[in-house]
Amino acid sequence: MTKPREYRFIVLQDLKDFLDAKVKLYNRPEFITNDPISVPHRFNRKQDIEIAAFFAATLAWGQRQTIIMKANQLMSLMDDAPYDFIRHHKTADLKHLLHFRHRTFQPTDLLYFIAFLKKHYQSHRSLEACFKTKASEYDVTNTLMKFHDYFFSLGDVPERTRKHVSSPTKGSACKRLNMFLRWMVRNDDRGVDFGLWNSPKPSQLVCPVDVHVARVARALGVLSRKQTDWKAACHLTNVLRLVDPNDPVKYDYALFSLGVIQPELYL
């Protein structure tokens, strides 16, 4: 089988045809089962979906089945009603969360996340308020930086927790936040992403970039930067905007799935 490295896409239409075919193949309900997005898909209430999605995205490193298992475990610890738990829990209700861990995400981190979400939902009906701005003024770099500052605006922030919410300030690719935004914003009636939010617009999102996406993008010749960082995420997204200016991050389905399903072709 010919490796993609052997045929770089010189004609933009060729790249579009290739990626569109892969998006059509992978952007479908069958994608949900083995992806962390399956966790928020268990819920119907907007706030439950947001909270489940935020935690599932936050925990999204490592093997996907482990991520899904741990995120579902966390939802169970919240009585499978995360919004009600966030809003109405008592101090005693937090005790059974003290044994929850996923890799470096520890109980201290979880308790801060819950405290932030409770504070936020006391004043807002949706997490969309954290990322919402006038469309003409939207800049994803500034938006993610402001969210990072807002998230850590409570008193006595555990220093160790800061690593679990990334910011472009330090060059992070912000893969998990960009994935969370994709889930909340995109709405193409394919049944995977939720399309719950009106802001930002799909055209303004940045593609989530992890090792799988970066490896495939480099093999296809659409990413030349060696580092997998914020500049790489923006560079890749700008290329994808040439392919589809209205919805560039839909190609996350193609790049990620190719890297997971056929990794031997993209080494």
pLDDT in tens, 201-251: 999 999 999 999 999 999 999 999 999 999 999 999 999 999 999 999 999
**CA separation for the pair 195, 18 (Å, rounded):** 25
Peptide bond into 200 cis (omega under 30): yes
Can you give the pLDDT at residue 134?
66
Can you give the pLDDT at residue 263?
61
Can you give the pLDDT at residue 1?
38
Can you give the pLDDT at residue 266?
55
**CA separation for the pair 117, 100 (Å, rounded):** 18
Can you give the pLDDT at residue 7?
41
Can you give the pLDDT at residue 206?
97
Contact 163, 58 (CB under 8 A): no
Q: What is the pLDDT along the chain (267 residues), one digit of tens a residue?
A: 344 443 445 578 889 999 999 999 999 999 999 999 999 999 999 999 999 999 999 999 889 999 999 999 999 999 999 999 999 999 999 999 999 999 999 999 999 999 999 999 999 999 999 998 766 556 889 999 999 999 999 988 999 999 999 999 989 999 999 999 999 999 998 999 999 999 899 999 999 999 999 999 999 999 999 999 999 999 999 999 999 999 999 999 999 999 887 666 555
DSSP conformation class of 105: B
Contact 148, 174 (CB under 8 A): no
Sequence spans of domains, the chain? 1-31+206-267, 35-201
**CA separation for the pair 41, 61 (Å, rounded):** 19
Report pTM: 0.93
